[in-house]
Amino acid sequence: MSNSPWFAIQHPLTSRRRFLLGLFSFTLPLILWCAVSYTPFIWHPMIRVESPGGVSWFRPGLLVERAVFATENAKALAANQPAATGTRANPVFLPEPHKVAQAFYTAFTTEPKLRGDVWLHESLWRSIQTIAWGFLISSAIGIPLGILCGAYALWSRISEPVIDFIRYMPAPAFGALAVAVLGINDAPKIAIIFVGTFFQQVLVVANTIRRTDPSLLEAAQTLGCRGFRLVLHVIVPSKLAELYTDTRILLGWAWTYLIVAEVVGVSSGITFFINQQAKYRNFENVYAAIIMIGLLGLATDQILAFIGKRLFPWETQRPSRLRAFIVRLFSSRQTPLTASPKSPAISPASTEARS
């Protein structure tokens, strides 16, 4: 195994290598960030003033560009004043990794100072709820409508042209309108996430449904299945795994609307934290909060991926112990995987019985 090549076209890697590379993809940016932060000669375009010397407007801790520092020092020296001293530093928008890690920790451990205020984890939970509601409502309408559009030309022509038109309208543009209609609390925020997700969702789902294998349809029709039962028992089950993947991708989109959604109406959730900290240039807190959102997104996606593997084991190409386990799990229950066990829709016996 060890002498199999690293570079082989369309050839799966060993699971050990996959793990190592996955780890590397996370550590590489971190290594770069550390390098830029901790080694002065790579970048460090600023100087952090330590003692102001003879420069009147320098203050200890002030960040100035190196060129400005040099000219001001030259001026001071020319006027027989002591030179200022300082150390090279990065601009304020690039804090060091350990500062961000500290901020990450303190953000969670700082208790709310005002009555009725919330801890950061409570803000995050509020954000998650906002996303969840927006996405649930969108999916509850969007997925069925998308399936109808993908299956029937009539539904497609009735709804898709206008949806195609509306989806170009940026969701944030509806902010003031959402407040006017829905008030200032959570409803307009959920609405923004809905607007950001729904229209794309219908089109994506419809597109997936439209790509149903025609031979599958023909077979089902030959066997006597028709009407809406074709949609329910043939088209949807055959595309279920892809619909699941679509939903995962769309959930990621819903997250991208969070920050615009949460400034609508009363400040809330993680956005309040980010905005306020950015306003006061506490960028280590800003980075920490952005990373929190990233971790949350990654975690949800991984959980969904795990569930997906259990639900659709035949979709997993890569051999793995997990898959073997799941296949065994399913086969031991003798559950057919593509069709619902209660109504074997494409068996001729059942169609005869009902006709």
Partner 1 sequence: MITVPRSLRRLTLGLTLAALLLSRATAAPLKVAYSDWPGWTAFAIASEKGWFKQAGLEVELLWFEYGPSIEAFTAGKVDAVMVTNGDALVTGANGAKNVMILVTDYSNGNDMIVAQPGISSLKDLKGKKVAVEVGFVDHLLLLNGLKKAGMTEADVELVPTPTNQTPQVLASGQVAAIAAWQPNSGQALKAVAGSTAVYTSADEPGLIYDTVAVSPQSLAQNRADWVKFVAVWDKIVAYLNDETTRDDGIKIMAARAGVDAKEYAAFMSGTKLLTLAQSTKIISGQTDTFGSIAGSSKIADEFNVKNGVYKESQPVATYIDATLTTDALKK
Among 340, 329, 110, CA closest to 232: 340
Examine residue 117 and tell whether it contacts partner 1 (CB under 8 A).
yes
Least separation in angstroms between CB 36 and partner 1: 19
Residue 256 identity: T
Q: Name which position in 29, 57, 78, 79 contacts partner 1 (CB under 8 A).
A: 57
Q: Name which position in 28, 31, 32, 92 contacts partner 1 (CB under 8 A).
A: 92
Of 31-39, 65-73, 149-157, 243-251, the window that binds partner 1 (rule: CB under 8 A) is: 65-73
Q: How far apart are CA 211 and CA 150, in angstroms?
A: 8
Site residues for partner 1, window 146-175 (CB under 8 A)? Answer: 175
Examine residue 62 and tell whether it contacts partner 1 (CB under 8 A).
yes
Cβ contacts of residue 250 below 8 Å, gap of 6+?
135, 138, 139, 197, 200, 201, 204
Site residues for partner 1, window 313-332 (CB under 8 A)? Answer: none
CA angle 339, 340, 345 (to 5 degrees): 70
Q: Name which position in 192, 193, 263, 346 contacts partner 1 (CB under 8 A).
A: 263
Q: Name which position in 4, 27, 276, 302 contacts partner 1 (CB under 8 A).
A: 276
Q: Name which position in 259, 266, 290, 311 contacts partner 1 (CB under 8 A).
A: 266
Cβ contacts of residue 258 below 8 Å, gap of 6+?
127, 130, 131, 193, 269, 270, 271, 293
Of the two residues 5 and 61, which places its CB atom closer to partner 1 in the complex?
A: 61
Least separation in angstroms between CB 177 and partner 1: 9
Of the two residues 72 and 242, which places its CB atom closer to partner 1 in the complex?
A: 72
Of 94-102, 260-268, 313-321, 341-349, the window that binds partner 1 (rule: CB under 8 A) is: 260-268
Per-residue b or e along 54-92, where b marks 16 or more CB atoms closer than 10 Å to that residue's CB: bbeebeeebebeeeebeebbeebeeeeeebbebeebbee
Examine residue 267 and tell whether it contacts partner 1 (CB under 8 A).
yes
Examine residue 184 and tell whether it contacts partner 1 (CB under 8 A).
yes
Distances (CA, A) of 151 to 40, 46, 164, 193, 314: 61, 61, 17, 26, 24
CB 85 within 8 A of CB 50: yes
Please tell me the total number of residues recorded for the chain in this structure. 355
184's enclosing H/E stretch is: none
- Contacts to partner 1 by CB under 8 A: 57, 62-65, 68, 72, 92, 112-115, 117, 175-176, 179-180, 183-184, 263-267, 272-273, 275-282
